[in-house]
Amino acid sequence: MKVDGKHYRSIWRERDGWSVGAIDQRRLPHEFVVAKLTSCEDAAVAIRDMLVRGAPLIGATAAYGMALAMREDSSDAGLKRAYDTLVVARPTAINLKWALDEMREALAPVDPVERAEAAYARADEIVEQDVEINRGIAGNGLALIEAIAARKKPGETVNVLTHCNAGWLATVDWGTATAPIYLAHERGINIHVWVDETRPRNQGASLTAWELGHHGVPHTVIPDNTGGHLMQHGMVDLAIVGTDRVAANGDVCNKIGTYLKALAAHDNNVPFYVALPSPTIDFAVNDGIKDIPIEQRSGTEVTDMTGRTADGRLETVRIVPEGSPVANYAFDVTPARLVTGLITERGVLKPDRASLAAAFPERIARS
Ligand code: MRU
């Protein structure tokens, strides 16, 4: 997608052919800074510290992390060490494990002398595959938006609500939830996005708003509590969110607060869609609510807020009384019954075991 007319991806191989460039998402929306990753440890830290974030991008970063590791030590022990280091970098997004399993499967049979080259080749494939998958999601989600536009007066706005950042910054390009939005915008549909700010880290306010704005897509940032009111008043035509892991039964784990939006959508007959690439499906988890591990993050994300002051400085302030305990659950699980459909690269699926299994049989065989 574009940043002020220039095409960017969230992650790429640098011109030297081996180091990895990534947009430092901790600095957005205030500063556009590119970080250079030169070791497996760099990749692990980038994931852990959320320099990169978003399920598909976490997977892509881990894949390059394995490639960087193979430059350092391509022995079987080195392969295992890299896998073990990266797989624990963040717990909830299953794309991390998926990408690492893909890498290990590709590299294990290769002679250690050739492993580094093979690792870069496989990581590049994973990255390109992400872009292709998201193009598929874009096309399948576009049909839903077009159907809504067709029921409106010509030129009338289609209002989409989204939560967190499931945009191109969370993937390699296009995004998942935003992919149909970008395509609809490109096709001339009058589309407008309600962007949940997404406390506590504000990925909506700082990342989704930034990328939509820089690509020229009309949007409005709203406090997280606003969606229900908008839905009650007919101001949301559909919700599209991303996900970090979809269980075999269709339960959807995504950024904390997603469940509340799904409840509000259900109460107001607003279609609630989840966009996902197939690597986000975890056929090994049967019940999303019981079995998906929910990351708990630092309390400072709740107690502190960082922003730009009027005179241009970045400043962090505390907004919670000293001594008040805080809780910071980073994700929640929306039960399948509240999900209208799963927008995948192979079509819009019902959120249930049979539909997921029929669409992605090869993934079940491997889980
Ligand atoms: O904690 P984050 O910022 O990594 O959480 C990201 C999300 O919850 C996204 O919505 C999800 O990863 C889908 S990304 C296409």
The closest-lying atom of ligand 1 relative to the alpha carbon of residue 207 is 3
Whether 54 lines ligand 1, by a CB cut-off of 6 Å, is: yes
pLDDT for position 3: 82
Q: Residue 367 pLDDT > 80, yes or no? A: no
Which pLDDT tens digit goes with each residue over 50-76?
Answer: 999 999 999 999 999 999 999 999 999
Q: 331: CA distance to ligand 1 center in Å?
A: 9
Token pair in block for residue 90:
């963040």
Give span(s): CATH 1.20.120.420, the chain. Answer: 2-128
**pLDDT per position as a tens digit, 8-18:** 999 999 999 99
157 alpha carbon – ligand 1 mean position (Å) = 27
Confidence band of 219 (pLDDT split at 50, 70, 90): very high
| Percent of the chain whose pLDDT exceeds 90 | 97
R_g of the chain, CA atoms, integer Å: 20
pTM exceeding the 0.95 threshold for the entire prediction: yes
pLDDT, mean over the chain: 97
Asked whether the predicted pLDDT for residue 2 surpasses 80, the reply is no
Look up the CATH number of domain 2-128. 1.20.120.420
Give me the phi and psi of 332, to 5 degrees please: -140, 170
What pLDDT is attached to residue 102? 98
Ligand 1 pocket, residue 334 CB under 6 Å: no
Catalytic machinery residues: 244
pLDDT one-digit tens code per residue, 106-131: 999 999 999 999 999 999 999 999 99
Residues of the chain with CATH 3.40.50.10470: 136-365
Distance 154 CA to ligand 1 centre (A): 34
Question: What is the predicted pLDDT for the residue at 363?
Answer: 87
* Distance separating alpha carbons of residues 253 and 91, to the nearest angstrom: 12
Query: Do 225 and 298 touch, CB atoms closer than 8 A?
Result: no
CB-based contact 62:89 (threshold 8 Å): yes
CATH of the structural domain 136-365, one choice from 3.40.50.300, 3.40.50.10470, 3.90.480.20, 3.30.70.1140: 3.40.50.10470
pLDDT score at 282: 97
Nearest atom (ligand 1) to Cα of 241: 10
**287: pLDDT confidence band, cut at 50, 70 and 90?**
very high
